Amino acid sequence: MTAHLIDGVALSRQLRADLAQRVSTLAAHGHRPGLAVLLVGEDPASQVYVRNKVKACAEAGIHSLLERHPASLSQAELLARIAALNADPSIHGILVQLPLPPQIDAQRVIEAISPAKDVDGFHIASAGALLVGQPGFWPCTPYGCLKMLEHIGCDLRGKHAVVIGRSNIVGKPMALLLLQRDATVTLCHSRTPDLKTHTRQADVIVAAVGKAGLLTADMVKPGAVVLDVGMNRDAAGKLCGDVDFAGVKEVAGYLTPVPGGVGPMTITMLLSNTVQAAERAAAA
């Protein structure tokens, strides 16, 4: 058997078309959604991501404001910019691209963003809202994974989901979202002995570690759904995930490719959160 691939580019195209409709409705009422993206320094990968986010906004009719700051920017200066954007009614979402240079305390900066504009879902208020099941913004990558599961008609009730990786931006919120959908969730991490015992039991596996080739075919139950959140470069510099794609695709029922899987969905859910922020602001 060979897995069905879940095409994140095609699904993004569908979802972004729906978002563009919601944007036109908002714009017609004088509430065009706006996203501010703050880039500090010149990390080449960050430059590419930020450019992709701005381009995706333009395609969906979302106003975007890209602020580029030198790597020497002080924390106080960055906090002042966030205060100004919090007060700017044309901006509904604020994203500070991570990582930040060492003189800046990233958590402090995230906490300065108004929770109403925290479209990354990284603010402690957003994390708390997700934990207790209150309305708030969900982090874009796990939210995109959930959309992919919905798209293939995967009913999570009673399923066993195994998340590998416990980061605040992917693993932990992913586990909470799966739990909210009534899956039985196992959260594995670098100190989990014998990962395979857990993954072999899983109906759904989300790999979010950042280690190429981590998940191999012998670790996957036949027919399982495998979502690959990994973003690694192989020896040739080619982008690859955490999953041994060639091996796992012969065992899994569904599998996401890298690139073209979860990555584009992350940007789509950023747009979705921004539109939602604008809708909430318009209704307030």
Ligand X SMILES: Nc1nc(=O)c2c([nH]1)NC[C@@H]1CN(c3ccc(C(=O)N[C@@H](CCC(=O)O)C(=O)O)cc3)C=[N+]21
- Residues catalogued as catalytic: 53, 97, 120
Residue 102 C-alpha from the chain's centroid? 24
Binding residues for NADP(+): 165-167
> Which lies closer to ligand X via its Cβ, residue 35 or residue 220?
35
> Is the CB of residue 180 less than 8 Å from the CB of residue 142?
no
146/183 with CB nearer ligand X: 146
Closest contact distance (angstroms) between CB of 158 and ligand X is 31
Q: Output the smallest distance, CB 234 to ligand X, in A.
A: 13
Left if phi > 0, otherwise alpha if psi is -120 to 50, otherwise beta: which for 3? beta
**Binding region:** 165-167
What secondary structure letter does DSSP report for 261?
Answer: S
Name the residue whose CB lies closest to ligand X.
Answer: 263
Q: Of 61 and 257, which CB lies nearer to ligand X in the complex structure?
A: 257
- Cis peptide before 102, with omega less than 30 degrees from 0? no
Identity of residue 99: P
Residue 57, phi-psi category: left (phi > 0), alpha (psi -120 to 50), beta (remainder): alpha
- CA–CA distance, 85 with 35 (Å, rounded to integer): 10
Please identify, using beta-carbon distances, which residue of 79 and 195 lies nearer to ligand X.
79
Q: How far is the CB of 271 from ligand X (least distance, A)?
A: 12
CB of 30 to ligand X, least distance (A): 28
Q: Cβ neighbours of residue 193 under 8 Å, at least 6 residues apart?
A: none
Interface residue list for ligand X (CB under 6 A): 48-49, 52, 95-98, 120, 140, 231, 239, 258-260, 263-264, 266-267
Q: Are 205 and 254 in contact (CB under 8 A)?
A: no
In terms of Cβ atoms closer than 10 Å to its own Cβ (0-12, 13-18, 19+), residue 27 is: middle
